[in-house]
Structure 1
Amino acid sequence: MAKQVKALVVGGGAVGTSIAYHLAKAGWSDVALLERDELTSGSTWHAAGLLPLFNMGYATSHIHDYSVKFYKTLEEETGLDAGFFVVGNLRMAQTRDRMDEYQLYASTADTVGIPYEFLSPAEIKDRWPLLRTEDLIGALFHPTDGYINPADVTMAMAKGARQRGVEIIRKRQVDSYEWAGDHWIVRGTVMGERGGNLVPTEETFEIHAEHVVTATGNHAQRTAQLLGIKMPAIPVEHQFIVTEPDPALVEYRKTQPQHPVLRDADAKWYVREERGGWILGPYEEGAPARFEHGVPDSFRADLFPLDLDRIEEEYMSMIHRIPSSETVGLKDDFNGPICYTPDGNPLVGPAPGLRNMWLAEGFSFGITAAGGTGYYLAQMMVEGEAEIDMAALDPKRYGQDWMTTEYAARKNEECYDHVYILHHPDEERPACRPLRTAPAYDRQKALGAQFGCVNGFERPNYYGPLDAPDNFDHDARSFRRGGWWDHAKAEAQAIRDTAGLIDASAFAKHRISGPGATAFLDWFTTNKLPKVGRINLTYALTSTGTTRTEYTIVREAEDSYYLVSAGGVQAYDEDYLYKAIEDKEEEFGRINREDVTTRYGVFALAGPNARDILKELIVDADPDTALSNKRFPWLSMRNIELKMCPVMAIRVAYTGELGWELHHPIEMQNYLWDQLMKAGEKHGLKPVGARAQNWLRQEKSYRAFGTELGRDATPIEAGLDRFVDMDKDFYGKAEMAAKGIRSMCVTLLIDGPEDADPWGREALFDAGTKVGRLTSGGYSVAFGKQIGMGYVKPELAKVGTKLKVKMQNRLWECEIVEDSPHDPTNARIRVDG
């Protein structure tokens, strides 16, 4: 066995073997893989092997697309049949809302290049007469996917890995990971068998690896404990049944090819053929989480007892959809653990707080994602970044300080029974909420706030009617303009006309200070550092020159800085920032760092009347001039007092109006909220949620991290040249310059449908050719039409260029407009008073 390797993969399922294969293919010749039992002995062996291309996420769609294409090449390379049956995938819809979901997905599929077609009920019945179709609206059909034998594809990837020099070692259980300063020491036990059980022997092993990747599937909680981190990857029971042969299907197959994989999303199941019968896989309510604290040593390729009562409704709906299945008996059943995460996306990327430790855990669709995960993770490890932004899968998207085992288990159970719900872009799932609440939560709720969840924090999305029923938010959501739309529009209009108050307490906040702070931040970020009392918007880059993080930097003193970044990526930002500080502290000098996210609340007050409201509260020798441009200019910070509340006030507004961010002691939040609401009453102040704010920032072409800003584009491509100082040296500068301009970020006004707005997932076309995609979308109260931001080919990124955007399976006219189409000179932001 190899004692020292470049990379060690721990876990021999489909995901682990794919990672080992792709690392070797990417040029790392010294790779080993450990498996505690036999290859495929985890959840891979009892997986149904489906390969659905359907996914509402951009990165995950790329991953699934790569897998489907890659698996088709394995037999030619390895000589092993991967067991891929390209039968297609028919995703049926019983409701108009379901078809709206499919049409939104289809536009996302266009951005990736995934083929699809829409079918009417009559077309479905004509192709597949065994199906009942009179209660369907239609279906989405993917002709290029289907299903695969999980064991066969895993063995084919394993052979391909061995052919490329990977050493695969079975019966090796990892017991500890130790960081030696520049590599990992991985120690463990050689496993044996006794009476059909996997048991430890007295023999041990030790491997030194520069990089380690864990792909331990259902054993993710044990892995997390060994690494000393938290990981919300916990299995949930998934059961499926196999029927005896269906005579009608057997007769049909005498002249016809295999049925496609069938999905009746509204009935919450998938069905595919199996030796003349059917496999039914339901996603029912009530499936329990298992192994919250680790998999018992006695559990190998085992299963749980079947609970038929739990899936009775789904079973009966299969009979309804395929009437010939009613008289067919059950042949076999499976109920095994499948790992989940709270949002259903796997955890792929660097482990929090650790060096050269990579996670590939929490795969609920592991066979579908295995190929693409190996490909893109290998890019991250070998080249520094993947060609697509993998932030949506980053393990640090869940905070490390607050996320608990109970939270993960309950959210994963929810995720399981949400597999086939309607996935609205504004979807808010209810389990484990509210959990993290700012003090003003109850006051906001009393005003009709309907909350979203960001990093576990409750944040108002919009303020609905005070007499709304408890389920108003759920019922109001839609792929079109839901019940919330009029409320968000009124909030956006209030900020443009009078004033609005937004709770932005979820912002991530860090304080960086000490003798080395200035030199470090100057090297770490792209923009000039602000002077004391001033602020700057700036970016930290990846090693490949793309955008890793956006910061608002407030310079409090010569060597003290207050950094504000997106609330949804607190742990993600902190990990990158703190690791960079550790790397450079010896060079630059002592650097103090502190996460102060929960120490301070933030209210954003914005609108033409914002200054007048603050004048009512500010304690100053001359309150009439305290907030003037002379004493408090745009892009500056002052420590002020609003009645009895000390506030760090920053003159900036994400909405593009006159405004301030009011950073305050969290324990005084209710007092400050009450004072602002009382003072603002006569000035037309309205509480405002995140949806209206998102619309307003697009009218100013303000890029948002996670949409326009990410690891697949540079700040220059994002059109943020003014925040990049090319006269100084900063991390990633040369790599950014070498990227050139591959695409450009633009703002578009859209003449779209009367009842819907873009969500930021739609494809852009020019003369029938896909030329870009939206990354954000919404409605503009300033222009009375839809608005969006996105990326297009550089030659098209000119003001006045007319394109088309795909919404509701139609192409709608849109036009590229100048950046900041609302108030392009910023006169409203800089107004004096």
Structure 2
Amino acid sequence: MKTDVKALVVGGGAVGTSIAYHLARAGWRDVMLLERDELTAGSTWHAAGLLPYFNMSYATTWIHDYSIRFYKTLKAETDLDPGFSVVGNLRMAQSTARMDEYMLYAATAETVGVPFEWLTPRDIAERFPLVRTDDLVGAILHPTDGYINPADVSMAMAKGARQHGATIERRWQVDGYDWAGDHWRVSVTRMAERGGNLVPTDERQVIRAEHVVTATGNHAQRTARMLGIKIPAIPVEHQYIVTEPDPALQAWRAEGHAEHPVLRDADAKWYVREERGGWILGPYERNAPARFRYGVPDSFRADLFPLDLDRIEAEYMSFIHRIPSSEEVGLKADFNGPICYTPDGNPLIGPAPGLRNMWLAEGFSFGITAAGGAGHYLAQMMVEGEAEIDMASLDPRRFGDWITTDWSVAKNEEAYEHVFILHHPDEERPATRPLRTAPCYDRMAALGAQFGAVNGWERPNYFAPQGFDDAQARSFRRGGWWPHARDEARAIREAAGLIDATAFAKHVLKGPGATAFLDWFTTNRLPRVGRVNLTYALTGAGTTRIEYTILRQAEDQYYLVSAGAWAAYDADYLRRAMEDMAPRFGAMVLQDVTTQYGVFALAGPNARDILKALIRDPDPDTALSNARFPWLSAREIELGMVPVTAIRVAYTGELGWELHHPVEMQNHLFDRLMEAGAPHGLKPVGARAQNWLRQEKSYRAFGNELGRDATPLEAGLDRFVDLSKEFHGKYAMQDTGIRARCVTLLLDAGPGDADPWGREAILHDGETVGRLTSGGYSVAHDRPIAMGYVRPDLAAPGTRLKVRMFRDLHDAQVTEDSPYDPQNARIRADG
């Protein structure tokens, strides 16, 4: 066995073999894969092998698309048949809401180039007469996917990896990782089979690896403990049953008909496919338990759990309802095995938090579908520095260090249950909540706040009358929350609104090296002391990695504010850069002060009058004037008894301030602001109205318009990029050029009962030319608004385009940036 390698892949399932294959194919020599047992001995062996395209995540759709295309090439390359049955995938709907979900998904699929067809109940009945259709409203069919043999596709990728120069070693268990400054020392032990169990032997080795990738599946908790990090990947039981042959199905096939597509009745929460004249039924039921919360027992190998038919009785009966011929068919076999999940159902692909050259590929609930694409895009990140798609939504650092085992267990069980529950774009899953709350949580709840969770924080989405049911208000169109968000948006445009922004990530960077480092790390000029600017940190590929609002508190001290949803993700990148550059720039200290400070955003034409009533200043009438407190500046002020760092910025495009305050004084400040605001029409405002308002100003949002697949210049942020200075990623950004441009669109009307969500395709002359990244409603223009990326030649204001919503095309026009108050007269208003 080699003891010095470029990359060590730990785990020999479908994901691990794919990573080894793609790293070796990319040209890395000395790639080695270790498996503690036999290849595919984990969840791969008992997986049903389905390859569904359907996923509401843009990045995951790309991953699934790559896998499905890639698997079709393996036989020609390796001479091993992966057993790909391209039968298609029919996803049925019992309600118009389910069809709305399919249409929203299809908008994403269209931007990726995924083929699909729409079927009516009559179409289904004519093509698949064994399927009962009288209670269906339609379906979406993917004709190019299907199912595959999990073991065979893994073995094909393993053979391909060897053909490209990788080595694979079985029966070696990793027992420890130690970072040696420029490489990993990985301690491994030879395993042997005794009495049906795997036991360690006395044979041990230490492997020197420049890079390590963990693809340990159900063993992720053991991996986490060895690395000293948190990995919220914990298995959940998934069971499926195999029936005896169905005579009606056998007769149908004997007549020469093709195999049924994989059938999914999402409203009944199951999938079905043919298996040797019978059926495989896989339900996603309620109350499926998580297993191995602290690790897999040494005695558990390719084992299964007892079947729990009582738990899946409802799904089994609905299967009989949908395929009546199955009623008299007996059960032939059953499987109930662990499938790893994550809190949001998406895998963890990318750098391990806080570690160098350690990469995670964990938590694959649809591992066979994702394995090929995960290997491809992770190899791009490792070999080239970045993937060609933005992988932030799958990054392991999207979950902060505040998570616990109990939290992960509850969220993973919820994610399993939600596989077939309607995925509303405005869905808010309830498990574990509330957990992270600002002090004013109860006060906002008493005012009717309907909360969403952002990085665990409870944040108001909107405010509604007491007794309002948020779950029933959700929709793929304008839900019951819509008029409340509209009223809040109007309040900010016409009077004033108060937004809880406590979830913002907040750091203080200081020290002799802070100024030189931050100047190199970000694209914009650094502000003067007491001033603020907006700036960006780039990836090595020149794309956007972090958006910062920077307040310069002293010559060598900076207050950095970034998106709360990405707190751990951003902080890890910043710390790595600081460590790398400290020898060049000098000593620095970074303090995470996120939980020390609450934040209220007060905005609207009456904002100054509200603060005047509270500010303690020798001359309160001029304290907030442009002369003493100009736009993009900050001051230490007192509001009542609360010391506040007030920053004159407003994400809504109105006159406003961010009020950063000691979190323990938040309730006092909240009460005083609401009292002072009452005569001025102050309303509490949630995130949905704020999202609409920022689009009226063409303010880009990280995770939407801003990410690792576009440069700041492509995003139209030239004014925040100072090309006269040197900064990280500058030349890569310039070399990338302009592949697409970010634009703001106003729709002429839209469907009338819906606004874009920010996932839809943009078309011109019948051709898909871009995609939306944000969407909503403009109170200023009284029509739908959206932002997105289009071909550069179609980005000029006035260009007429079309947006796909609910299968129909709707007219839209590219506007100038900031279609509301383009001169910023309101945000700069004096008084």
Tell me the TM-score normalised to structure 1 length: 0.99
For 2:827 and 2:81, locate their aligned partners in 1 and report how far apart those are by CA, in whole Å: 64
Q: Give the equivalent residue in structure 2 for 1:386.
A: 387
Please tell me the residue identity of whatever aligns with 2:384.
Answer: E
Q: Give the equivalent residue in structure 2 for 1:825.
A: 823
- Residue of 508, 514, 518 corresponding to 2:515: 518
Q: Give the equivalent residue in structure 2 for 1:433.
A: 433
Q: Give the equivalent residue in structure 1 for 2:270.
A: 269
- Residue of 737, 740, 744 corresponding to 2:741: 744
Q: Give the equivalent residue in structure 1 for 2:493.
A: 496
- Residue of 566, 569, 581 corresponding to 1:572: 569
Q: Give the equivalent residue in structure 1 for 2:598.
A: 601
Q: Please state if 1:186 is matched with 2:195.
A: no
For 1:101 and 1:697, locate their aligned partners in 2 and report how far apart those are by CA, in whole Å: 26
Q: Give the equivalent residue in structure 2 for 1:91.
A: 91
Q: Please state if 1:657 is matched with 2:654.
A: yes
SS in 1 for 2:223: helix
Q: By how many angstroms is 1:467 displaced?
A: 3.4
Please tell me the residue identity of whatever aligns with 2:794.
Answer: L
Alignment of 1:658-673 (within 5 A): 658-673=655-670
For 2:172 and 2:95, locate their aligned partners in 1 and report how far apart those are by CA, in whole Å: 50
For 1:759 and 1:384, locate their aligned partners in 2 and report how far apart those are by CA, in whole Å: 31
Alignment deviations for residues 113-148 of structure 1 (CA, whole Å, 9 cap, x no partner): 000011000000000000000000000000000000
Q: Give the equivalent residue in structure 2 for 1:325.
A: 326
Alignment of 1:110-509 (within 5 A): 110-254=110-254, 255-400=256-401, 402-468=402-468, 472-509=469-506
SS in 2 for 1:266: coil
For 2:59 and 2:604, locate their aligned partners in 1 and report how far apart those are by CA, in whole Å: 36
For 1:286 and 1:194, locate their aligned partners in 2 and report how far apart those are by CA, in whole Å: 36
SS in 1 for 2:335: strand
For 1:570 and 1:115, locate their aligned partners in 2 and report how far apart those are by CA, in whole Å: 36
Please tell me the residue identity of whatever aligns with 1:699.
Answer: E
Q: By how many angstroms is 1:205 displaced?
A: 1.5
Q: Give the equivalent residue in structure 2 for 1:616.
A: 613
SS in 2 for 1:44: helix
**Seq. identity, %:** 75
Q: Give the equivalent residue in structure 1 for 2:82.
A: 82
RMSD: 0.4
For 2:664 and 2:196, locate their aligned partners in 1 and report how far apart those are by CA, in whole Å: 59
Q: Please state if 1:773 is matched with 2:774.
A: no
Q: Please state if 1:587 is matched with 2:591.
A: no
Moved more, 374-383 or 458-467: 458-467
For 1:467 and 1:583, locate their aligned partners in 2 and report how far apart those are by CA, in whole Å: 53
Please tell me the residue identity of whatever aligns with 2:678.
Answer: E
Gapped runs of 5+ residues in structure 2? Answer: none
- Residue of 536, 539, 544 corresponding to 2:541: 544
Q: Give the equivalent residue in structure 1 for 2:524.
A: 527
Q: Give the equivalent residue in structure 1 for 2:626.
A: 629
For 2:540 and 2:424, locate their aligned partners in 1 and report how far apart those are by CA, in whole Å: 34
Q: Give the equivalent residue in structure 2 for 1:697.
A: 694
Q: By how many angstroms is 1:29 displaced?
A: 1.8
Q: Please state if 1:757 is matched with 2:755.
A: yes
Q: Give the equivalent residue in structure 1 for 2:33.
A: 33
Q: By how many angstroms is 1:188 displaced?
A: 1.5
For 2:651 and 2:615, locate their aligned partners in 1 and report how far apart those are by CA, in whole Å: 22
For 1:820 and 1:237, locate their aligned partners in 2 and report how far apart those are by CA, in whole Å: 50
Please tell me the residue identity of whatever aligns with 1:626.
Answer: A
Q: Give the equivalent residue in structure 1 for 2:808.
A: 810
SS in 1 for 2:46: coil
For 1:520 and 1:308, locate their aligned partners in 2 and report how far apart those are by CA, in whole Å: 61
Q: By how many angstroms is 1:796 displaced?
A: 0.5
Q: By how many angstroms is 1:466 displaced?
A: 1.9
Q: By how many angstroms is 1:30 displaced?
A: 1.4
Please tell me the residue identity of whatever aligns with 1:653.
Answer: A
Q: By how many angstroms is 1:388 displaced?
A: 0.2
Q: By how many angstroms is 1:196 displaced?
A: 1.2
Gapped runs of 5+ residues in structure 1? Answer: none
Please tell me the residue identity of whatever aligns with 1:305.
Answer: P
Alignment deviations for residues 697-728 of structure 1 (CA, whole Å, 9 cap, x no partner): 00000000000000000000000000000000
For 2:41 and 2:144, locate their aligned partners in 1 and report how far apart those are by CA, in whole Å: 28
Please tell me the residue identity of whatever aligns with 2:757.
Answer: W
Q: By how many angstroms is 1:586 displaced?
A: 1.5
For 1:320 and 1:107, locate their aligned partners in 2 and report how far apart those are by CA, in whole Å: 31
For 1:395 and 1:345, locate their aligned partners in 2 and report how far apart those are by CA, in whole Å: 10
SS in 1 for 2:726: coil
Q: Please state if 1:795 is matched with 2:793.
A: yes
For 1:45 and 1:137, locate their aligned partners in 2 and report how far apart those are by CA, in whole Å: 36
For 2:214 and 2:785, locate their aligned partners in 1 and report how far apart those are by CA, in whole Å: 42
For 2:523 and 2:494, locate their aligned partners in 1 and report how far apart those are by CA, in whole Å: 35
For 1:502 and 1:646, locate their aligned partners in 2 and report how far apart those are by CA, in whole Å: 19
For 1:200 and 1:298, locate their aligned partners in 2 and report how far apart those are by CA, in whole Å: 12
For 1:146 and 1:555, locate their aligned partners in 2 and report how far apart those are by CA, in whole Å: 56
SS in 1 for 2:595: coil
Please tell me the residue identity of whatever aligns with 1:757.
Answer: D
SS in 1 for 2:68: helix
For 1:121 and 1:25, locate their aligned partners in 2 and report how far apart those are by CA, in whole Å: 45
SS in 2 for 1:408: helix
Q: By how many angstroms is 1:299 displaced?
A: 0.3
For 2:29 and 2:3, locate their aligned partners in 1 and report how far apart those are by CA, in whole Å: 14
Alignment deviations for residues 612-662 of structure 1 (CA, whole Å, 9 cap, x no partner): 000000000000000000000000000000010000000000000000000
Alignment deviations for residues 173-192 of structure 1 (CA, whole Å, 9 cap, x no partner): 00000000000010011000
Q: By how many angstroms is 1:546 displaced?
A: 0.3
For 2:813 and 2:172, locate their aligned partners in 1 and report how far apart those are by CA, in whole Å: 59
For 2:124 and 2:810, locate their aligned partners in 1 and report how far apart those are by CA, in whole Å: 28
For 1:332 and 1:291, locate their aligned partners in 2 and report how far apart those are by CA, in whole Å: 24
Alignment deviations for residues 490-517 of structure 1 (CA, whole Å, 9 cap, x no partner): 0000000000000000000000001000
For 2:775 and 2:253, locate their aligned partners in 1 and report how far apart those are by CA, in whole Å: 46
For 2:537 and 2:685, locate their aligned partners in 1 and report how far apart those are by CA, in whole Å: 30
Alignment of 1:11-30 (within 5 A): 11-30=11-30
For 1:745 and 1:792, locate their aligned partners in 2 and report how far apart those are by CA, in whole Å: 7
Please tell me the residue identity of whatever aligns with 1:799.
Answer: P
Q: Give the equivalent residue in structure 1 for 2:708.
A: 711
Q: By how many angstroms is 1:59 displaced?
A: 0.3
Please tell me the residue identity of whatever aligns with 2:338.
Answer: P
Please tell me the residue identity of whatever aligns with 1:765.
Answer: L
SS in 2 for 1:76: helix
SS in 2 for 1:253: helix
- Residue of 721, 724, 734 corresponding to 2:721: 724
For 1:13 and 1:464, locate their aligned partners in 2 and report how far apart those are by CA, in whole Å: 49
Please tell me the residue identity of whatever aligns with 2:17.
Answer: T
Alignment deviations for residues 747-779 of structure 1 (CA, whole Å, 9 cap, x no partner): 000120110010000000001100000000000
For 1:392 and 1:491, locate their aligned partners in 2 and report how far apart those are by CA, in whole Å: 29
Q: By how many angstroms is 1:589 displaced?
A: 1.0
Tell me the TM-score normalised to structure 2 length: 1.00
For 2:259 and 2:4, locate their aligned partners in 1 and report how far apart those are by CA, in whole Å: 48
SS in 2 for 1:257: coil
SS in 2 for 1:5: strand
